[in-house]
Structure 1
Amino acid sequence: MTSRPPRMWVPTTVYVLVAFVASGILVAAQSATGPNPELLELVQFAPAVAVAVVLFAWRGRWVAPFEVSLWRPAAAPTLTAAASVLVILAFPAVVLVALGGNVSVAAIHVESEPIGLLVLAQCVGACGEEVGWRGFLQPYLRSRYSVLVTGMLVGTVWGVWHVQVFAAGPAYASGFLLSTITMSVLLAVLLDPFRSGNLLIATLFHAVANLGLLTFSDAGGREPLLWTLMAVAAACCATAILAVRKFRGVTDSAPRESAVSCSIDPKLSLDGTCRDSDNFRC
């Protein structure tokens, strides 16, 4: 590992460009070979491909912060993530039903496929994304910026990466971008003090959100409102978490050391040191 890491914008730019290019290739591959896009979208693996390219490009010269622990998630962020995603889904559901919309759990299905396969596919696809967003980009930017700025930057790239939303009109795209930014800030705030199990928590949060969004399949043309309500709920959850931590005297404002990293082995990091530690899909 070199003592002089690359300028921050270089790996970030490579990651973003590869993620967009890989997305186009994977979309084309799905149209040519499958699988059923309602079950699993290959484009979800584009962020993981981008991470692999960054790691390969700087192999032997620089170890990027890379948090992909799938083991021993801490109880506090796990329970908080579960409660947050339920709030993010329940709040718009209540509002939309009050406005005459239809929200149905029965909408969580894909033709004749068993529900278990759908859940598994959503978890696999969400993991493919989160390896990039919360596994690489978030800890990398966090080594330079505050938790709030990091969340906003990751959320902006995450939202713009869903280029198809811009075809749905400015109101839809604005609501969607607002939701990805606020949910990214929430995940940045939620996961920042922890290391163990972060990828698992982010993956399950993402998968549950995507599955929950299927219940809004008949939103009655209120999709921009749906995204905005989700953004409001996510912002409230992030604010509540920060308020509790401030009350307890915990602060997350300072950038983390860039050397923080962990590997698939929960006790071994990438640098060899031991550590304990429907189109609504987002």
Structure 2
Amino acid sequence: MPDHKQGQKQKQKQKQKPEQEHEQGQRRAQRSGWAAQTGVFLAVALVAAGLCGALQPATGIPPEVLQLTQFGPVLAVAAVALLWPGRIRDRLVGTLPARSNGPADHEARLPSGNRAALLLTAALITALSAGGALLTSGSLPVTSPRALAHPLTLLVTAQLVGACAEEIGWRCYLQPLLRTRFGPVTASVLVGTAWGLWHVPALTQGPAYAAGFLTATVAMSVILGLALERVRSNRLLLAGGFHTLVNLGMLFVTDETSPATAPMAVFGAACLVAALPWITSARRAAATPDRITAATANGTR
């Protein structure tokens, strides 16, 4: 009997060994998968943005209304979907509005107070930038909607479309992807850095200008990353709305669109200050797993 039992144990170990090796293989595939997907996304986003920018003059679309380079990230998402069709759905969980499945689905939605706080943060960035401009230059550049060459409705709509074309890549795809490997702040900083470096023309304005711009993109990415943590509904419109409000603030109230270094430095500082309350709030919040991370981290990726 002891020999028989020992033989059974050996057979069980032999059966378990392939299963363990399979699980280890899955974990290795998961570790390498996120890096490959990130690399493809970033490469396609950069190349596609350059091609779209080169095609813009032929389309006749005024750049002040809509910059076609903004469609680089959404084209990158499409490329990743073609290469990894079985994984793209999990990555884009919560991009669009979702139907409520009852009380259990409530925690997956951004509370109304947080929605308002996110949009008010965009207004705060504009206000801080305007105040900084008054302190540093003694004047506040304000653009009247009547001075624009295009209708305000068209401009706002185009800004929202362009912002959503970016945010479906940065906040709806790349942020959840990196959250499977990193914490919310680290993932947000990485996304913000990639987002800033993707704006190649802004980096050619000089080191100080580039530093202010990268500070702004990283800080805004942290705001969005923390605000959308655990959110599985309407992420695209929330991120796109914040992005649009910041862009409109830059257009109408401040002067961050100019190549001058000082306004961009002020804008970067304003974004950093606006991000501090979100970071403080995140540190005080209970450490609970991100629902999107839990949904995408299980199984082979």
TM over 0.5: yes
* Bin for the TM-score computed over the shorter chain: 0.7 to 0.9
- Where 2:144 maps in the other structure, the secondary structure is helix
Match of 2:210, as an amino acid?
A: A
Match of 1:106, as an amino acid?
A: S
Bigger mean CA deviation after superposition, 99-108 or 153-162: 99-108
Match of 2:112 among 64, 71, 75: 75
Give a deviation string over 1:32-73, Cα, whole Å, max 9, x none: 122111101111111000001001111246755114124676
User: What residue number does 1:259 align with?
Assistant: 295
Structure 2 residue ranges without an equivalent (≥5): 1-25, 99-108
Match of 2:123 among 86, 92, 101: 86
For 1:196 and 1:220, locate their aligned partners in 2 and report how far apart those are by CA, in whole Å: 32
Instruction: Check conservation: 1:64, 1:140, Cα contact below 8 A.
Output: no
Match of 2:142 among 85, 89, 104: 104
Match of 1:236, as an amino acid?
A: V
Q: Which of the pair has more CA radius of gyration?
A: 2
How many Å apart are 1:130 and its aligned residue?
A: 0.4
Instruction: Check conservation: 1:89, 1:209, Cα contact below 8 A.
Output: yes
Structure 1 residue ranges without an equivalent (≥5): 262-282
Instruction: Check conservation: 2:232, 2:292, Cα contact below 8 A.
Output: no
How many Å apart are 1:241 and its aligned residue?
A: 2.6
Give a deviation string over 1:143-177, Cα, whole Å, max 9, x none: 11011111111011100110001221111111101
How many Å apart are 1:104 and its aligned residue?
A: 1.0
Give a deviation string over 1:185-214, Cα, whole Å, max 9, x none: 111111113222221110000011111101
User: What residue number does 1:194 align with?
Assistant: 231
Give a deviation string over 1:100-159, Cα, whole Å, max 9, x none: 233214168641x21011000000110000000001001110111011111111011100
Match of 2:243 among 203, 206, 210: 206
Q: How many pairs were matched up?
A: 258
Instruction: Check conservation: 1:147, 1:252, Cα contact below 8 A.
Output: no
Structure 1 position 59 matched with structure 2 position 85:
yes
Instruction: Check conservation: 2:230, 2:291, Cα contact below 8 A.
Output: no
| Change beyond 3 A, Cα 1:231–1:255 | farther
Structure 1 position 250 matched with structure 2 position 286:
yes
For 1:164 and 1:68, locate their aligned partners in 2 and report how far apart those are by CA, in whole Å: 29
Bigger mean CA deviation after superposition, 164-173 or 13-22: 164-173
Bigger mean CA deviation after superposition, 203-212 or 94-103: 94-103
For 1:251 and 1:74, locate their aligned partners in 2 and report how far apart those are by CA, in whole Å: 18
- Where 2:65 maps in the other structure, the secondary structure is coil
Instruction: Check conservation: 1:140, 1:258, Cα contact below 8 A.
Output: no
Match of 2:200, as an amino acid?
A: V
For 1:206 and 1:108, locate their aligned partners in 2 and report how far apart those are by CA, in whole Å: 23
How many Å apart are 1:82 and its aligned residue?
A: 1.5
User: What residue number does 2:182 align with?
Assistant: 145
Instruction: Check conservation: 1:74, 1:197, Cα contact below 8 A.
Output: no
User: What residue number does 1:273 align with?
Assistant: none
RMSD: 2.8
Taking structure 2 as the reference length, the TM-score comes to 0.77
For 1:10 and 1:122, locate their aligned partners in 2 and report how far apart those are by CA, in whole Å: 31
- The alignment-based identity, stated in percent, is 35
Structure 1 position 24 matched with structure 2 position 60:
no
Match of 1:14, as an amino acid?
A: V
Identify, as 1 or 2, the structure richer in helix: 2
Instruction: Check conservation: 2:229, 2:290, Cα contact below 8 A.
Output: no
